Amino acid sequence: MITKQDTPLDIVEQYPQTDPVFRTYDEQIGQCLLCHCLFDSLETIARRYDIDLAEMITRLEIAVVRAPGEGIS
């Protein structure tokens, strides 16, 4: 489904419900991830900001299948 080579742009375009997941990383990286990393792969983002890549992908995939309105953890 979502891979480490995917970019936030590709993911949010296909799965708009993932937007809130990306926003949860803003404070950790000190800037808007979607504003500054839109064209970078998830792998590049994870490496640059010391984010657990597997966890990020899992959270994004959960958001893809979660019913609308269930929230993001």
Q: Is residue 43 assigned to a domain? A: yes
pLDDT of residue 66: 80
pLDDT of residue 12: 96
Q: Is residue 2 assigned to a domain? A: no
Coil, strand, or helix at residue 69?
coil
Mean pLDDT in residue range 25-50: 97
pLDDT digits (tens, 9 = 90+) for 7-33: 999 999 999 999 999 999 999 999 999
Tokens of 68: 């609308």
Domain range for 37 is: 8-64
Q: Is residue 72 assigned to a domain? A: no
Q: Is residue 54 assigned to a domain? A: yes
Phi, psi (degrees; rounded to nearest 5) at 41: -70, 155
Q: What pTM value is reported for the model?
A: 0.88
In the chain, the N- to C-terminal Cα span, in Å, equals 20
pLDDT of 4 over the 90 cut: yes
pLDDT of residue 1: 86
Q: Is residue 71 assigned to a domain? A: no
User: For the chain, what is the domain count?
Assistant: 1
